[in-house]
Amino acid sequence: MRPQQIKDEYRELKDKLRNDAKYLYLVKNRNGSVLYTSIFTPSIREASAFGFTVPVNAAINYEMYSAVEEAYYKLRKYYSLDKWEELVEKH
């Protein structure tokens, strides 16, 4: 991965996960399907809770790279990307 790619992914993941987590914490958005509440919601919450403490304009370091990799891991913890795609197509 190129350094700029790491920064771009870090920034994008940080923003998306923060926004998704804020949405999920709103009381009106807590209801949903079993898939949504038991798998999707925990994945987003876990990914958003870990790392992302490095400012997006900071120099790339291990902490930034580690946060990106850990977020991807958390997002695939319950289902693989292929399984997520399959589930999205069904619903």
Q: In whole angstroms, give the CA distance from residue 91 to residue 73.
A: 24
pTM (2 decimals)? Answer: 0.66
For the chain, the straight-line distance linking the first and the last C-alpha, in angstroms and rounded, comes to 33
Q: What is the pLDDT of residues 8-60, one digit of tens each?
A: 888 888 888 888 877 777 655 566 666 667 777 788 888 877 778 888 888 88
| Number of structural domains the chain divides into | 1
Q: SS3 of 30, please?
A: coil
* Residue that has been written with the tokens 């589930």 in this structure: 87
Domain span at residue 55 reads 3-90
